[in-house]
Amino acid sequence: MAEIRLDKLRKDFGTVVAVNDITLTFPEGTVTCLLGPSGCGKTTLMRMIGGLDTPTSGDIYFDSDRVTDLTPSERNIGMVFQYPVVYRGMSAYRNIELPLLEDKSISRTERKARVESVIDTLDLGRSANTDVSKLDNGTRQKVAVARAVARQPRIILFDEPITNVDIASKVQLKRVLKRLVKQHNQTIIYVTHDQTEAMTLADEIALMRDGVIVQRGAPREVYDQPNDRFGGWFLGNPGMNFIEYRVRRDDGNALLTEPLFNKPTRVDGLNGHTEVVLGIRPEHVHVYPTPTQDTVEAKVVRSALVVGGQHLLTLQIGDLTLKAKVQPEDGYDKATTVYVACPIDYVFVFERESGQRLAASVTG
Ligand SMILES: Nc1ncnc2c1ncn2[C@@H]1O[C@H](COP(=O)(O)OP(=O)(O)OP(=O)(O)O)[C@@H](O)[C@H]1O
Ligand SMILES: [Mg+2]
């Protein structure tokens, strides 16, 4: 195991800044999911950590060792990529064993024990003696993972390892990877743009955008407390509702009023901003068949069944459109009139220009 530390790490491709002066520590023995949209620089960052790309500037340390100028093999790390890298014409077992044969310090008994242990963890028993050319893509990827893990490197880098396998293998790979990362105490960086994968695998999420890490924390924390609109939008399926809002000033108080609130609701800590954006997650929008003292009237304009058996409602409240996630028993039909409340604890306030979250609290 080792801690990975990046110090102002940067990579330019011509005028494109793929990785923009990132300073960050990946703690020893933790799984960090690097999550972000296509083109934000995830692969470039991983390739520099792995030694496959040379940084434009900055440094990489494993514990206190500066590894910036070391070759990939000198860094002692395992890497798994989008497309399985395996040696065809050899059995799965042989593929996994091969890197261990190169290390003369590993005894035969030890080698056998390590190979059999990863074969077991990854459910590869039935394929162990099969030529990898005859295996499906998902199983081949498991072999690639097994090979990276069996060496017991200090660090393992995964770059979207399940993106290019069929759906059935995806589910299985996800399951075995989860087992694997919980079992081994290696420092793992796992790139994905699939947030559910990130939420289930990660000890920590590092959210990346345009070459920088915009937020980093436990999955729940990043989900529940996004630093900016990007986090609110990118995490969540679908992401947060964002509603441009004008704050009303009354007697020194800042108030949020209609159409979302049926009575003036006080908001503190706006720092003088009057044009803001409110953010609320679809699962926090409460929908009722009859009015209560907190609700406003809305019309269902769309109702769709979504993953997890819930219904995603698109609601119209005056000029405003809002998405709400509800349980199937509350699945309202299109054109139904419903009553909506946005619990103040779940309403976030963002700066309109920068998208940064304001330390504002809606107090009712
Ligand atoms: N070898 C290269 N030459 C020129 N530009 C590159 C090269 N590799 C990456 N880039 C650019 O750097 C930026 C970051 O790319 P990168 O592949 O790291 O993103 P990513 O987050 O891994 O995306 P994806 O999710 O699609 O894999 C992009 O703008 C990309 O076009
Ligand atoms: Mg990539």
Give all domains of the chain, ordered by start, each with its CATH number: 4-225 (3.40.50.300), 239-362 (2.40.50.140)
- Say if pTM beats, i.e. exceeds, 0.75: yes
The residue nearest atom 8 of ligand 1, judged by CA position, is 44
Angle, nearest 10°, between helix axes 92-102 and 137-150? 20
The reply to whether ligand 1 has any atom less than 6 angstroms from the CB of 87 is: no
Within 10 A of 7 (CB to CB), how many other CB atoms are there?
16
Q: Atom of ligand 1 at shortest distance to CA of 193?
A: 25
Closest ligand to the CA of 208: 1
The residue nearest atom 7 of ligand 1, judged by CA position, is 13
Alpha carbons 354 and 363: distance in angstroms, whole number: 24
The reply to whether ligand 1 has any atom less than 6 angstroms from the CB of 16 is: yes
DSSP code per residue over 150-162: HT--SEEEEESTT
pLDDT tens sequence for the chain (364 residues)? 799 999 999 999 999 999 999 999 999 999 999 999 999 999 999 999 999 999 999 999 999 999 999 999 999 999 999 988 999 999 999 999 999 998 899 999 999 999 999 999 889 999 999 999 999 999 999 999 999 999 889 899 999 999 888 888 888 888 888 888 877 788 999 999 888 888 888 999 999 999 999 999 999 999 999 999 999 999 998 999 999 998 888 877 888 888 888 888 888 888 888 889 999 999 999 999 999 988 999 999 999 888 777 889 999 999 999 999 998 776 688 889 999 999 888 999 999 999 999 887 777 6
The reply to whether ligand 1 has any atom less than 6 angstroms from the CB of 54 is: no
The residue nearest atom 6 of ligand 1, judged by CA position, is 13
Q: Atom of ligand 1 at shortest distance to CA of 11?
A: 12
Closest ligand to the CA of 35: 1
